[in-house]
C-alpha cells in the first residue's frame, strides 16, 4: 500500500503503519531483514530522515531490532506467560512451541556468607523460606534458553534439607519442577509472585547477550508445596523485549473483602524488598 502525501498524517507514521501491517501479515518473517533504507526511500519517494523516523517507531514497539551494518530485522513474537498458572520454564517454552534448555552458572549449598551483601541476601532468603539463619540453602543459577535464544537468568534458592538431592541430577537437561514432583515427591501447590522493572548490569548483559542497561523484568517467586511449606524462592531476570505477561482481572468494589483477598499476594511481606 502506498502513502497519501496530502494526508494530515505524517509520512513517517503512514510508512510505519504499512510496515507494521506487513510484519503482522507475515510478509516480513521473524529474523529476516526489512527492506533497506534506500529501498524504502525509493518505494515511498521520501527522504532518509522520514524512513528513519518510521523505523524508530517500530524499534520502540519492539517489532524490529537494528543490527549494526546489516539493517533492521523483524523480531520473533514475544513469549506470552499467563500469571494465573504456576508453570515451570520447561512448560512455558513447550506452550510456545519452543525447545527449552539451560546452562548452569552456579549450583552449590551456601555456607557462611563472605561479606555483608551476601549475609543480608542469605537472611532475606532464609526469611522467605521460613528457615533459621543456621539452616543450609541450596542456590542454583541457570541461564534458560528457548530455541537456543537466551531469555532468562534464574536464581533459585531451596531449603537444602529438602532439596540438596537436586545436585545429583542433570539440571542442564532436566526440569527442576519435574524432578521435584516425580523423583523427590515434592508436589508444588501455589506461588506468590511479584514483578519489577530493572536494567541489566554488565554481567547480566553478557549472560543474556543484550546491551548493558537493557530493560528486564525481575520476577520474584515464592513457591509452596501442596502441604503448605515454601520450597523455592526465585529471582528471575527476563529480557523485557522477549516476554509479555498476561492476566485477566474481574471488577470488584474497591473495599470489598474479595478485592482485599485477591490483592493480598501483592503485599505479602515474604516477597517485599
Interacting residues toward ligand 16G by CB under 6 A: 88-90, 154, 156, 175-178, 219, 221, 232, 234, 236
CB of 170 to ligand 16G, least distance (A): 11
Strands 79-82 and 243-246: parallel
Set of cell numbers at residue 126: 532464609
Q: Count Cα atoms within 13 angstroms, Cβ side, for 9.
A: 10
CB of 231 to ligand 16G, least distance (A): 10
Q: Nearest 10 degrees: CA dihedral of 208, 70, 1, 19?
A: 20
CB of 71 to ligand 16G, least distance (A): 34
Sign (positive or negative) of CA dihedral 17, 23, 26, 32 = positive
Backbone phi, then psi, for 142, in 5-degree steps? Answer: -135, 145
DSSP for 213-232 reads T-EEEEEEEEEEETTS-EEE
Which CB, 41 or 218, lies closer to ligand 16G?
Answer: 218
A 10 A CB-CB count for 62 gives 15
> Which residues lie below 8 Å from residue 39, measured CB to CB, with a gap of 6+?
none
Q: How far apart are CA 232 and CA 247, in angstroms?
A: 23
CB of 9 to ligand 16G, least distance (A): 41
CB of 88 to ligand 16G, least distance (A): 3
CB of 197 to ligand 16G, least distance (A): 15
Which CB, 28 or 177, lies closer to ligand 16G?
Answer: 177
Amino acid at each position: 500500500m502506498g502513502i497519501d502525501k496530502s494526508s494530515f498524517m505524517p509520512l513517517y507514521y503512514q510508512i510505519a503503519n504499512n510496515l507494521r501491517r506487513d510484519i503482522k501479515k507475515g510478509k516480513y518473517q521473524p529474523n529476516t531483514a526489512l527492506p533497506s533504507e534506500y529501498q524504502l526511500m525509493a518505494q515511498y519517494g521520501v527522504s532518509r530522515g522520514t524512513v528513519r523516523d518510521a523505523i524508530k517507531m517500530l524499534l520502540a514497539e519492539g517489532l524490529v531490532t537494528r543490527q549494526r551494518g546489516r539493517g533492521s530485522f523483524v523480531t520473533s513474537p514475544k513469549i506470552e506467560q499467563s500469571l494465573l498458572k504456576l508453570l515451570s520454564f520447561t512448560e512455558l517454552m513447550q506452550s510456545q512451541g519452543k525447545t527449552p534448555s539451560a546452562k548452569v552458572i552456579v549450583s552449590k549449598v551456601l555456607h557462611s556468607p563472605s561479606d555483608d551483601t551476601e549475609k543480608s541476601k542469605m537472611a532475606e532468603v532464609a526469611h522467605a523460606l521460613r528457615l533459621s539463619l543456621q539452616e543450609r540453602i541450596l542456590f542454583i543459577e541457570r541461564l534458560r534458553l528457548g530455541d537456543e535464544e537466551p531469555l532468562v537468568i534464574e536464581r533459585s534458592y531451596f531449603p537444602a534439607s529438602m532439596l540438596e538431592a537436586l545436585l545429583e541430577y542433570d539440571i542442564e537437561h532436566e526440569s527442576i519442577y519435574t524432578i521435584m514432583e516425580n523423583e523427590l515427591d515434592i508436589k508444588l501447590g501455589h506461588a506468590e509472585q511479584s514483578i519489577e522493572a530493572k536494567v541489566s548490569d554488565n554481567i547480566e548483559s553478557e549472560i543474556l547477550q543484550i546491551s548493558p542497561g537493557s530493560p528486564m523484568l525481575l520476577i520474584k517467586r515464592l513457591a509452596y508445596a501442596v502441604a503448605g511449606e515454601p520450597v523455592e524462592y526465585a529471582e528471575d531476570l527476563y529480557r523485557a523485549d522477549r516476554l509479555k505477561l498476561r492476566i485477566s482481572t474481574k471488577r470488584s468494589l474497591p473495599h470489598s473483602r474479595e478485592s482485599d483477598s485477591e490483592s493480598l499476594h501483592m503485599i505479602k511481606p515474604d516477597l517485599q524488598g
